[in-house]
Amino acid sequence: MAEMFGKANGCSRGRGGSMHIFDVSRRFYGGYAIVGGGLPIAVGLALADKLTGRSRVTACFFGDGATAEGEFHESLNLAALWQLPVLFLCENNLYAMGTPIAQELSQPDIHLRAGSYGIPAEAVDGMDVLAVEKASRAAAEAVRQSGGPRFLELRTYRFRAHSMADPDLYRTKEEIEHWKERDPIALLEARLRDGKLIADADVAGIEAEIATELDDAIAVAEAGPWEPVEDLTRDVYTPAAP
């Protein structure tokens, strides 16, 4: 939260906000403002793991819009060619910001594009939490066993605009409401209730814990320091050699 507030105690010292959250200690190698920018970095991390003999799986998340970028094709090609331990996960929410994928991609079944590189790929109902968990677990295990890449297309939907600057005029309110009927959180809660795995008290407890965690994070962020002015050029310029 401190990162979102632009405070120096954020994981990236408050630089870049939500688009540059980064924490190596948790093996989280960041979000990127450049569309598709994380794909070649994921391939590089997986290559490093393979060359050093580390048994790891690099999970790379990106949206459907990134599949129209050159990095997508280059990254999948190298991952397949070098048999790198990468799990590519495309969150296909049907819109690349405001462009429907039918107007952007000649092949809108994105997992088929991955298959053309010889990467085992499948489409999954991204609105079904358990389906995503099952497919992701199986794909990650397949990467571990084979050492090569796998690809999942998670077919999902976003209920809100792309950003605060997005007027959201490219789709109807009726379409949004239709998709809300498949809200993955509500559907999972209903399944757990049907299976008598949770009750009202459990849901209330979870929501209370989340609210407390958010309040605590906001308090830490608000109390956090601003980056000092003397650090303005830090990480921008390399000091000249003496």
pLDDT confidence of residue 32:
82
Report the DSSP beta bridge partners of residue 62: 90
Backbone φ and ψ of 208, nearest 5°: -65, -40
* CA 191/CA 3 separation, integer angstroms: 35
The model's pLDDT over 136-164, given as tens digits with 9 standing for 90+, comes to 999 999 999 999 999 999 999 999 999 88
Kindly state the helix (H) or strand (E) to which residue 47 belongs, with its residue range. Answer: helix 38-52
pLDDT number for residue 52: 97
Would you kindly state where each structural domain of the chain is located, as residue ranges?
32-195
| E strand residue ranges, 106-224 | 121-125, 150-155
Angle at 105 between CA 181 and CA 182, to 5 degrees: 5
Q: Give Cα separations from 31 to 18, 47, 173, 187 (angstroms).
A: 8, 19, 29, 28
Strands (E), 15-130: 58-63, 86-92, 95-96, 99-100, 121-125
pTM (2 decimals)?
0.90
Write out the two tokens for 4. 């979102």
Which CATH superfamily includes the segment(s) 32-195? Thiamin diphosphate (ThDP)-binding fold, Pyr/PP domains (3.40.50.970)
Answer for the pair 63, 96: CB distance below 8 angstroms, yes or no. yes
CA-wise closest residue to 125 among 174, 202, 66, 188: 188
CB 105 within 8 A of CB 68: yes
What's the rounded Cα separation, in Å, for the pair 197 and 175? 32
Tell me if residue 2 falls in helix, strand or coil: coil
pLDDT along the chain (242 residues), means of 10: 87 80 85 89 97 96 95 97 98 94 92 96 98 98 96 97 91 97 97 96 96 96 91 80 75
- What tens digit of pLDDT does each residue of 209-233 get? 999 999 999 999 999 999 888 888 8
